[in-house]
Structure 1
């Protein structure tokens, strides 16, 4: 009798304990899910714990598709909402409000709101993640590295890297399977930023350097990193306590060592170059060694920004260039037209690939803009309100301090309301006449306002110069391995990437 009573007591205890645990878990998983309802913004009911991004987390849907789906679910809303795991976000769909947030009322949205612990993620100290006054100070220190004068001085380095790219294509042109252009554009862009920004001759095009391998580690995402990233979204304090690194520690340690040696070498030997590394050395002297300001900077802040400039200056350019080659291969009429413009303009400037050439290629600009539109390699712009904000044109709608918002760049770039037949590659969308038909706030591949990409002009000149050199040497064709349409990597954490690479053929142009 007693064993039976004891068994029933244990069973009841287990059942009650299980119910209590399940109730607590459910409460934790759904405790934030009333916030969007309180704001009275349209949103789809969230899944406990995963919010509205379950398919993305499960690897069944890319980041582009997930945010595109949310964007399309509320076609008449200026602002809609969604939950990324447990965190409520406002998605800004209206171009006028987007312009206000990124430009007119920027001071309300100066912070990105991306929370990473600098002690376990060195890049958290970089310009991209920095907030408030610290961001303003560092941007001011780095801006001189991207002036027009500095860019003009870098053109000969970009040309030298482009010539090495041409030589590599010539040496591999008879490969029957074609050339995987994502790889060679990545190697090219790494060489360019290495030599232009830091005076490093890497020759990654011919030798897959340690620089390139570690850049891919930073922008890649293995199972371990994905789990840590997911855990950090739900339990940030756990990630911080156990010092779990999303970015492989060996990659950040490698770059920390390289750039520390570079800065020490230049400082000790009084080496002065007209590049971005020199601006970082100057920033170190003013912000770390001689600082009397309220904001405290360390050597790690300087190294973090060096890594940010290297990685941020190579991967987006590489992806955009590869996608551009792909579209030119599939659209021969566009390829011929851009080549004719480059050739005729080059003749006007004496056959020299100069900054004057880059500034006089309107159709090339249109092709690149259409590449940026169709392949928005960065999916969203993220901001966080720093003070209570009354949204213009929405009566009394208030965004509270600390609210995270998303500006869906890729979704807007593919909205047929602004870009009819958005899957079609059509540079004519970017004639002056067509641009004037669209409202501001519908095209911003480099961001907009004070917090736009610091390397925007550098990237534009680099892309135009390498296109000019490659297209005067080669015609580009699809090959048997060319994927039509492209499949995209669903688990890419940062940039849009082709899942199986981009394979093309190149044919020399005979004069």
Structure 2
């Protein structure tokens, strides 16, 4: 009898949930907005727990379908959550830049007490974000980048030695691991002022924690799903998605570096020094200085975003060069010519002047964007220009970068690797917001946000 009652209860509960979800899929119909109808219980996404492609391809497919229907933007559903998807680059420009005051946040639901290293500029919103952005804006000027250029070159020497060693031993090269070690050494030196020695010491703390940070964890899949489709759950049940050992390592590393420099009056041209100077300036101005944890959080995102996006982009770039010999030859000739003009040396100004290299990197970022989608949250009611569609406060707004980067209107034969797309005579023939590898506007990720 108890079993029968349980079965009946489960059936009633399942029916209630199903009806509730189906009812939520009427949201865009009721607002008479252009949209795609939900294609399943999961809305316009595949079952996130069994799909092999992921949300980035769900959004690209929705982007392509909306464009095929002639829409510049339109509503979709991620599970029960209504989401508005920008399709046309001019609409993307409105959301990201022109009307940024309506879309300043990303709808973060992270509990910073549980995840202190997550309290960085990428996640912060509102006044805390504006305050931190003002403080960090001077961090990545061209002058400061130029000061760090010699560090980049110095970190490249062990990498070249390692490659030469593997060649002499006739061993295969795991290029992702090699460039990953290189970017770890660069970020470790530029951000923390530490020599990581990733090539000499396979068990170095930074190399080990680099692997731990990027290693897949089921909790991250759950958090990503809840963040976009059921954000209220994260507020009720705060998850710790940064492991305690990683948290302890980065906070400990910052503590050791700051204490060592303060005690020995040492200065370096690196990211930590900039944060320490900001701390001293705040004290002098009678303002609240950043805490050790806040400094660690900014350094953590700089480390994670810096080594992973850079190493992944370099890996894809080398992959494309290997399969496109004509591009490789043309790039090699430009590099040789530039070095010859600079006395056989690789200089900051020389690199900045390589137009074809810039095209190769940008084409890599087009085909393999580090951030395949952008997301914003509508802070207050917003009526889209020249439409009767009003986005209510709290609405999630997405942009499929993959959808834009593989749009044949802007990139004919998009699967082809063609750096010429980004030469001066070609790149001005398409909308600026058709190429968004790091986003655009005040929260442009290339500006460390």
The structural deviation recorded for 1:13 is 4.9
Q: For the residues of structure 1 that align with 2:71 and 2:239, how far apart are their CA atoms?
A: 39
SS at match of 1:280: helix
- Indicate the residue corresponding to 2:328 in structure 1: 335
Residue 288 to residue 379, structure 1, CA distance change in 2 (3 Å): farther
Which of 107, 117, 134 is matched with 1:113 structurally?
Answer: 107
Contact preservation (8 Å) 1:320, 1:377: yes
The structural deviation recorded for 1:96 is 0.6
Q: For the residues of structure 2 that align with 1:88 and 1:97, how far apart are their CA atoms?
A: 18
- Indicate the residue corresponding to 2:78 in structure 1: 84
Gaps of 5+ in 1: 1-6, 457-511
Contact preservation (8 Å) 1:127, 1:135: yes
The structural deviation recorded for 1:287 is 5.6
What does residue range 316-465 of structure 1 map to in structure 2 within 5 Å?
Answer: 316-392=309-385, 394-454=386-446
Contact preservation (8 Å) 1:370, 1:425: yes
The structural deviation recorded for 1:342 is 1.0
Contact preservation (8 Å) 2:116, 2:293: yes
- Kindly report the root-mean-square deviation, in angstroms, between the aligned alpha carbons of the 2 structures: 2.5
The structural deviation recorded for 1:239 is 5.1
Residue 291 to residue 106, structure 1, CA distance change in 2 (3 Å): farther
Q: TM-score, normalized by length of structure 1? A: 0.80
- Indicate the residue corresponding to 2:214 in structure 1: 219
| Per-residue Cα deviation, 1:156-192 (whole angstroms, up to 9, x for no partner) | 1000111221111101114555211111111111111
- Indicate the residue corresponding to 2:250 in structure 1: 255
1:135 aligns with 2:129: yes
Deviates more, 1:267-276 or 1:125-134: 267-276
1:276 aligns with 2:271: yes
Contact preservation (8 Å) 2:148, 2:269: no
Contact preservation (8 Å) 1:381, 1:408: yes
| Per-residue Cα deviation, 1:129-165 (whole angstroms, up to 9, x for no partner) | 1112211211222222211221111111000111221
SS at match of 1:58: coil
Which of 62, 71, 74 is matched with 1:70 structurally?
Answer: 62
Q: For the residues of structure 2 that align with 1:58 and 1:286, how far apart are their CA atoms?
A: 51
The structural deviation recorded for 1:383 is 0.9
| Per-residue Cα deviation, 1:218-255 (whole angstroms, up to 9, x for no partner) | 23322344345546666656655555322322212211
The structural deviation recorded for 1:328 is 0.8
The structural deviation recorded for 1:122 is 2.7
Which of 151, 154, 166 is matched with 2:148 structurally?
Answer: 154
Residue 16 to residue 171, structure 1, CA distance change in 2 (3 Å): closer
Residue 165 to residue 283, structure 1, CA distance change in 2 (3 Å): same
Deviates more, 1:399-408 or 1:269-278: 269-278
| Per-residue Cα deviation, 1:294-341 (whole angstroms, up to 9, x for no partner) | xx9643222111101111111101000111111111111111111111
Q: For the residues of structure 1 that align with 2:294 and 2:284, how far apart are their CA atoms?
A: 12
Q: For the residues of structure 2 that align with 1:396 and 1:372, how far apart are their CA atoms?
A: 35
The structural deviation recorded for 1:106 is 1.6
The structural deviation recorded for 1:207 is 2.3
- Indicate the residue corresponding to 1:507 in structure 2: none
Contact preservation (8 Å) 1:112, 1:384: yes
Which of 309, 312, 317 is matched with 2:305 structurally?
Answer: 312
Contact preservation (8 Å) 2:182, 2:198: yes
Which of 72, 94, 99 is matched with 2:88 structurally?
Answer: 94
Gaps of 5+ in 2: none
- Indicate the residue corresponding to 1:245 in structure 2: 240
Residue 448 to residue 233, structure 1, CA distance change in 2 (3 Å): closer
Residue 345 to residue 231, structure 1, CA distance change in 2 (3 Å): closer
- Indicate the residue corresponding to 2:181 in structure 1: 187
